[in-house]
Amino acid sequence: MLPWVRANPSLCIGNAGVGLETTRQLALHGARVYIASRSEARVNEAISKMRQFKSTVDVRFLKLDLQDLQSVKAAATEFMQKESRLDILINNAGVRRWSRSYGAHY
Ligand SMILES: NC(=O)c1ccc[n+]([C@@H]2O[C@H](COP(=O)([O-])OP(=O)(O)OC[C@H]3O[C@@H](n4cnc5c(N)ncnc54)[C@H](OP(=O)(O)O)[C@@H]3O)[C@@H](O)[C@H]2O)c1
């Protein structure tokens, strides 16, 4: 259905909500998708649920905390070691907050 996504690596940020649903749709259409997330356990749980629909989905965990620039650099380095290209970046993680809070690098 979406031939251009096949075999082209994608990176989705978020193991829940919009990010997870985007990952699911890309994976079900044949893309190799990395879920960049703070929690490997939550990503593994999400992958297990996807595999109940289609056992062959190619979804992988990439450790990333967007509030920590060292984590961002480490995630980029790890991704580049594993893949030669990034075709689709879904950069949608985040929270809806009314009060301000800042991570280590902000
Ligand atoms: N859903 C909507 O209808 C809607 C509409 C308009 C705009 N938005 C915006 O779209 C974004 C996503 O919405 P959503 O409904 O999908 O939210 P969600 O279900 O709460 O999911 C947020 C995702 O962001 C991840 N995340 C949060 N902080 C992170 C960080 N520092 N590093 C890495 N990952 C982090 C969370 O992972 P953890 O498990 O690690 O927390 C979670 O997977 C939000 O900014 C929201 O304001 C949503």
For the Cβ of 11 lying below 6 angstroms from any atom of ligand 1, the answer is no
| Mutation pick for ligand 1 pocket among 15, 49, 59, 101 (CB with most ligand atoms within 8 Å) | 15
70-78 — which CB contacts under 8 Å span 24+ positions? 70/105, 75/36
Render the burial of 70-106: b for 16+ CB within 10 Å, e for the rest: ebeeebeeebeeeeeeeeeebeebeeeeeeeeeeeee
Which amino acid, residue 100? R
Using pLDDT thresholds of 50, 70 and 90, give the confidence band for residue 54. very high
Which amino acid, residue 102? Y
For the Cβ of 37 lying below 6 angstroms from any atom of ligand 1, the answer is yes
Fold of 10-90: Rossmann fold (3.40.50)
Q: pTM for this structure?
A: 0.86
Using pLDDT thresholds of 50, 70 and 90, give the confidence band for residue 11. confident
Length of the chain: 106
